[in-house]
Structure 1
Amino acid sequence: MKKFVSLLIVLFLSSQYLAAEEVSIKFYLKFGFVKGGEAEMTISDTVFNDRPAIHYHVMGKTTGLANKLYGVYDIYETYVDAESRLPVKTIRNVKEGSYRRYTETLFYHDVDSINSTRSGWRAVPNDLLDLISVFFYFVHKNPFENLQPGDAVVYPTINADKISDVSIKYLRDEKIKTDVGEVECHVLTPTVRKGKVLEKSDGVRFYLAKDEKIPVFIEFDMRVGSLKAVIKHYKIGGVEQTLR
């Protein structure tokens, strides 16, 4: 369950960079009708190695009874080059019960290598992404007007120092009601590893606002029921926004 909550924290990051002002998106997590946690992402301009970059910061935590059971407080950070949208640095700071793990990884795309505080230097596939940047990269590189339902793209992706292919598929368009408005959405599904928690490998669906390109709803088909991430607020420069 702990690792699944960590997966949830990073999987909702399917939006693209919106503006120079800081963007904040907050979700609450629901197990059936019970609130079990919160996750918040901020997006801001920065500079990395004297080049314009984008900083994604994600915090996720359990609350209430779920916190007593699992005690999750995770922070994920990714810096991507503003032009290529490829990651240049990632930070994974995981606290789940008694488990602790802190890892920093630097990306050297010119020589297809990374340097991780956990595993050191290693060769990697060309244009390697991480679980945060992969969704931003997909949205940035694939205009939806060029996609047909069923179209999918596969990217080499690193997570927890392990590299595997992640497939992101465009399913359909759909209108849904949220706390920040009734929203026309693109529906995407990533292919993730089927395990003890997920009912099937494509059992995760992202609802991405068509105009703003931000996630507003994520649904997980679990073996024990449904888990949902529901948008609570969407702010730009500290000002609450309404979606249409």
Structure 2
Amino acid sequence: MFAFTSILNINAHAQNGKKAFIGGERLKYQIYYGFINGGEATLQVNEQVFNGKPAYHLYLNGRTVGIANTLYNVNDTYESYTDPATHWPYFSIRNIHEGRYRHYSTQTWDHWSRPDSSIVISSKTGKVVVSKGCQDILSSVYYLRNKMLTIPPLKQDQTIMVDTYFTDEKYPLTVRFKGYETIKTKFGPVKCMKFMPVVITGRVFKTKDDMTIWFSNDSNFIPIRIKFDIFVGSVYCDLIEYKNLANEFTALERK
């Protein structure tokens, strides 16, 4: 089903019945720079109805707190309503508050009217034809989590690609597998798979290698730690709370 080369494109729809996440999952993160608690982030999945159809409402909010809020004042929210069967997005929201910078846009998705492509209608740029099953940036994380349950074990430096539409541009999200590591957390050591997404350089990142994500090496595939190397230094997001996981948290090495 999957052609294993140096790049594995996983946009094709395939499921094996098992789920990496379910409605009600909630993940909370602490964001810090050095020893400074710089903020907090929440990832949440809710079961809802969107335009009369069952949907997952995916929600991400990241914001600064304390001194960091005084200096940077960040409050970013991403939302995505997705089809629980295919995990393709119906509707997306990007609401950015970073200092004086503001951005609000929506994207409406049509994956079903064309046999070989999808359509996204952006509130900023209008109608664009994209690849079949194209993702927004938030839904791509959950899409990838589920797809990891269906693909063969990855090899060192193997690359996964998911087609996305992000910042009003077609953006092939490329993620490189960098091997396995055990991460120390407040819950204990967690066995992880380490990935480096290729990021967009410019306003936040200096190079395409400035982001690393550690996912739990189990059937939940939870983001355990995220590291950003940005202009002001390294910023870490560490998981500090989890609720309503789809599967037993087997990557956690319990004492």
TM range (shorter): 0.7 to 0.9
Cα displacement (A) at 1:223 = 4.9
Structure 2: distance between partners of 1:122 and 1:168: 24
Counterpart for residue 230 of structure 1 = 238
Q: Under a length normalisation based on structure 2, what TM-score does the superposition of the two structures give?
A: 0.79
Equivalences for 1:30-49 in 2 at 5 Å?
Answer: 30-49=32-51
Structure 2: distance between partners of 1:33 and 1:189: 24
Q: Does 1:19 align with 2:22?
A: yes
Structure 2: distance between partners of 1:96 and 1:200: 21
Q: Deviations over 1:1-22 (max 9, x none)?
A: xxxxxxxxxxxxxxx75234x1
Which 5+ residue runs of structure 2 have no aligned equivalent? 1-18
Number of equivalent positions: 225
Structure 1: distance between partners of 2:169 and 2:67: 31
Q: Does 1:137 align with 2:143?
A: yes
Counterpart for residue 110 of structure 2 = 108
Counterpart for residue 123 of structure 1 = 129
Counterpart for residue 90 of structure 2 = 88
Counterpart for residue 5 of structure 1 = none
Distance 1:94 1:197, change over 3 A: closer
Distance 1:17 1:92, change over 3 A: farther
Counterpart for residue 157 of structure 2 = 150
**Partner SS, residue 68 of structure 1:** helix
Which 5+ residue runs of structure 1 have no aligned equivalent? 1-15
Cα displacement (A) at 1:174 = 1.3
Distance 1:129 1:173, change over 3 A: same
Structure 2: distance between partners of 1:62 and 1:182: 27
Structure 1: distance between partners of 2:210 and 2:74: 22
**Partner SS, residue 131 of structure 2:** coil
Q: Work out whether residues 180 and 231 of structure 1, in 8 Å CA contact, stay in contact via their aligned partners in 2.
A: no
Structure 2: distance between partners of 1:40 and 1:150: 29
Structure 1 or 2: more helix by fraction: 1
Q: Under a length normalisation based on structure 1, what TM-score does the superposition of the two structures give?
A: 0.83
Structure 2: distance between partners of 1:59 and 1:227: 16
Identity %: 32
Cα displacement (A) at 1:172 = 0.8
* Alpha-carbon RMSD: 2.3
Counterpart for residue 221 of structure 1 = 229
Runs (4+) of structure 1 exceeding 6 A deviation are none
Counterpart for residue 175 of structure 1 = 182
Distance 1:206 1:100, change over 3 A: same
